[in-house]
Amino acid sequence: MDRDQRLRFYQQMVLIRKFEDKAGEQYGRGKIGGFLHLYIGEEACAVGAINALRDDDYVTTHYRDHGHALAKGCSPNAVMAELYGKATGVSGGMGGSMHLFCTKHRLMGGYAIVGGGIPIGTGIGLGIQQLHEPLVSLTFFGDGAVNEGEFHESLNLASLWKLPVVFFCENNLYAMGTALNKSSAVPEIYKRAEAYAIPSHQIDGMDVDAVYRATLEAVDRARSGGGPTLIEAITYRYKGHSMADAVQYRTRQEEEQWRPRDPITLFRERLISESVATDEELDQMDREVDAIVADSVKFADDSPAPTLEDMYRDVYAA
């Protein structure tokens, strides 16, 4: 891993963090409506995993998708504009926070139905296999999704047909307000893969390097015809499930215990201790990200809204 790549990891995680902070702020101002699910605390998952992909590999994800979109290369301007519901948004203002699509970067949604992206990500792997392309489909989902039938159907099919899929579970310990040990008879999610003869690992989702290494191995396996892998990344969202969440199902004490594991803090310390960068250099990168995020807000504010004609036109493809 070279220096540029290490710094890119840092920059992307900081971009996601500051973008999400700003989105929360704009939501409070009424600029963003509906549901807003912030990725704060989970940055190492999106950044570590997506950097293990090639640009033309595919990603599908769930409704906590801003981090995945930014890590995949979607423009912060267009993502913020989508949150604002503007015509310049990645989905033309028709999708919103939970339905980000960037076809140029092969980010294929953004789904609000828990587990909904999993069969689709599996199918992208099927399409890749049909067309004999050396590509991979990475599909993100949370700990709540693993009890949906579609999770099981998808793992079975991907294993049976040796599809080039990486199943990436972001286990942040809570499905909305339900703790993992209250929902799952076997809370170690990686164990489910055994039922489908799929190799699996549980990793530290707060360590971007660990995420990168595990995903790279899985991506290489998929690309070389070795079939799917299940990665369970233990992570934590510092904020609630969404902006509407009063977070009564976990303690402030637990949240404080996770603070020192902040993926950005950990990685910053690592970069400095490895002499990859200095505090000053990283502070400068932080300021550059501030400017990017501020620009995205201005872009979103200044953008036009979609029209009624746009709405009727988008129901069917021409």
Partner 1 sequence: MAVITYREAIRQALREMLKDPKAFLMGEDIGAYGGAFAVTKGFLEEYGEERIRDTPISESVIIGAGIGAVMAGARPIVEIMTINFTLFAFDMIINHAAKIHFMSGGRVNIPLIMRTVTGSGRQLGAQHSQNIEGHYAMVPGLKVVAPATAADAKGLLLSAYDDNNPVFVAEHFDLYSQKGEVPDEPVRVPIGKAAVLREGRDVTLISYSRMTMICQQAADLLAERQISAEVIDLRTLRPLDMELLLASVEKTHRVILVEEAAKGTSIGGDIISEIQESAFYDLEQPIRWVAGAPVPMPYNRTLEQLAIPNTEVVADAAVEMLAGRRRRAA
Residue ranges in contact with partner 1 by CB under 8 A: 58, 60, 89-95, 99, 101, 103, 108-111, 113, 116, 118-128, 130-131, 133, 135, 137, 149-150, 153-154, 156-157, 160-161, 306, 310, 313-318
- Strand pairing partners for 140? 168
* Residue 187, φ and ψ in degrees, nearest 5: -70, -15
- The minimum distance between CB 99 and partner 1, in angstroms, equals 4
Of the pair 98, 175, the CB lying nearest partner 1 is at: 98
- The minimum distance between CB 100 and partner 1, in angstroms, equals 9
Of the pair 150, 232, the CB lying nearest partner 1 is at: 150
- The minimum distance between CB 31 and partner 1, in angstroms, equals 19
Of the pair 160, 176, the CB lying nearest partner 1 is at: 160
- The minimum distance between CB 69 and partner 1, in angstroms, equals 12
Tokens, residue 36:
């807003």
Strand, coil or helix: 285: helix
How are beta strands 165-171 and 174-175 bridged, if at all? unpaired
- The minimum distance between CB 140 and partner 1, in angstroms, equals 14
Cα distance between residue 236 and residue 258, in whole Å: 7
Cβ within 8 Å of residue 77, ≥6 positions away: 88, 295, 296, 299, 300
Which of 239, 176, 219 shows the shortest CA–CA distance to 42?
239
Of the pair 91, 235, the CB lying nearest partner 1 is at: 91
- The minimum distance between CB 105 and partner 1, in angstroms, equals 12
Residues 303, 68, 21, 206: what is their CA dihedral angle, to the nearest 10 degrees?
-170
- The minimum distance between CB 200 and partner 1, in angstroms, equals 19
Of the pair 131, 291, the CB lying nearest partner 1 is at: 131
Of the pair 50, 234, the CB lying nearest partner 1 is at: 50
**DSSP character at residue 165:** E
Tokens, residue 170:
């972001």
Tokens, residue 168:
């990436």
First vs last Cα of the chain: how many Å apart? 45
Which of 176, 242, 317 shows the shortest CA–CA distance to 36?
242
Of the pair 65, 143, the CB lying nearest partner 1 is at: 65
Cis link prior to 110 (omega < 30° from 0)? yes
